[in-house]
Structure 1
Amino acid sequence: MKNTPVTTRDIARKLDVSISTVSWALRDMPVIHPDTRKAIVRLAEELDCQPNQLAKIW
């Protein structure tokens, strides 16, 4: 198994959604359908996706 961090791109490819959709869902934006958000969050948890603290905009 590869030892690289999971990215929003990885999640987007697995669920056939855009990278923006994944980003918005993980930030709990209201424009994302609840079912889509649940699927994205569930997969992110399964893949042990961790936010990159250095990449966050402050």
Structure 2
Amino acid sequence: MSGVIGSGNAEVSNNQFLQNNNANTADILKLIASLRETCAQFPEDIRDEIIIDIEDVEAEVIRF
């Protein structure tokens, strides 16, 4: 079961849900770079966990 609430372009195919709300990939990657710079200020143990999460998000953005 899947559904969409709101506006934008959405597509469901092969049990995957894709939604584009006019987000520019280049802008999102810039935000990710900014997040990396910000997390450099965190303690190492926290920073390492956050970097993993950032890398996961980046991989998803690049994938689509």
State the TM-score bracket (shorter-chain normalisation). Answer: 0.3 to 0.5
Whose helix fraction is larger, Structure 1's or Structure 2's?
2
- TM-score of the aligned structures, taking structure 1 as reference length: 0.39
Bigger Rg, which one: 2
More strand, by proportion:
2
Relative contact order (C-alpha < 8 Å, sep 6+): which is higher? 1
